[in-house]
Amino acid sequence: MNRAPVRLGRRQLLAMAVGAPLVPLWCRFAAAESPAGRAEAVVEGLAEHAWALIQSGELDQRTRLDRLTELLESKTDVALLSRLVLGRHWQRLTAAQQAGYEQLFGEVVLRNLARRLDQYAYGTEGPLDQHFRITGSLPAGKDDILVRSKVAPPTGDTLSVDWRLRMQGDQPVIIDLIIEGVSLLVSQRSEFAAVIERSDMEGLLAELRARASSTES
């Protein structure tokens, strides 16, 4: 049996013509608004801002490091990361020591990370996308998202750099950085644990104070 052809009115045809392009646009919007999309946007924004600071040519090294450290702190949950690094030893600190430790952690650990970024990118030529690109993201554990990226240094092989973020409300924040499989959180935990075993908690705080002072000179 032949079926009668379906005839669409002008309004229906117009609605289909206008609505069709909106489908991929809506899909892109939905992806950007997802936790993974927001996490990727945080990492992309951090990379773009850091690249602009380093490539500006208007800042001396001390000022660049100050700005890069502030940028990293603004995208990182320093309080959570510092506690995770300290692990079970966190409860051994008084409230005043905990506050001091968190501040020192940012001044030392994130400052060192800012210095590494500056050493890598300062004087590097070409646009950012020649040296950095996000390759995707995936869930990590119950609450976290792992944003995967590739970094092409001026010399040597391309590096795999993964950023672990956790949602705080609707805003993802960085809680770990994994370079070629080596976690910043895990490596710092091991280093701090060795200092605590050797010099107890006061020894760790004293060493962090000394390192923070050396970065200011």
Let me know the angle formed at the C-alpha of 86 by 72 and 140, rounded to the nearest 5 degrees: 65
Domains annotated for the chain, with CATH where assigned, are: 34-216 (3.10.450.710)
pTM of this structure = 0.80
Residue 153: its pLDDT value, please? 80
**List of E strands, the chain:** 132-140, 144-151, 159-168, 171-179, 182-183
How far apart CA 37 and CA 195 sit, in angstroms, is 39
**Measured distance CA(48)–CA(85) in Å, rounded:** 27
User: Tokens 């966190």 map to which residue?
Assistant: 90
Per-residue confidence (pLDDT) for residue 13, from 0 to 100: 46
Residue 26: predicted pLDDT: 42
pLDDT tens per residue across all 217 residues of the chain: 555 554 555 555 444 545 555 545 444 444 457 999 999 999 999 999 999 998 887 889 899 999 999 999 999 999 999 999 999 999 999 999 999 999 999 999 999 999 988 888 887 888 999 999 999 999 998 889 999 999 988 777 899 999 999 998 888 999 999 999 999 999 999 999 999 999 999 999 999 999 999 876 5
- First-to-last C-alpha distance (Å) of the chain: 90
